[in-house]
Amino acid sequence: ELRQATAKLSDELRQRQWHVLDVSLQKLVLAKIAALPEDLRRVVRDREVRFHVQKRDPERALNALKEQLSPALEGPDGLARDVTRALDALVAAHPQDQDRSLVFLSRAQALYPFTRSGSLLKHIADHTHHVPVILLYPGEQRDGGLSFLGQLKADRDYRPRIYPQRLLP
């Protein structure tokens, strides 16, 4: 429902001459993994097979993946750099229309468990060119904060405005 509502809103804004960009975080994560050196990808695959398949320990397999992949995805040189480049390209293509531009960050579930969405937002905060960036957050409000996918402890360190899905058209 949220994807349909977002697509509808994007279409309506484009009809009104807005520049709307959808940045799939899932695609960025997969591209980062594909860009890893082959020997590191082999180590990751081997550990996955050893822990998940042979030892039937999916939690240990997930921790091994996180240990290997998080450094490529976290921080200002990780996914934040890719999002910033997309924002830069949008602004460069439409330099006079920043006030009629919008970016959706979608498929954020791909961040789990490698990095937190709040960390990504902090690293792009000073690089948005004042273009609104909307993170389609897969989580829930609880304990006075946001819980990513309902899996992580609620994080109260969010400066952005939060609009529950039920308020969207």
Q: Give the Cα separation of 162 and 5 in Å (integer).
A: 17
Block means of pLDDT (10 residues each) for the chain, 169 residues, are 89 96 95 88 78 72 80 93 97 94 93 84 92 84 68 60 51
pTM: 0.81
Task: For residue 69, give the 3-state DSSP assignment.
Answer: helix
Contact 145, 156 (CB under 8 A): yes
R_g over Cα of the chain: 18
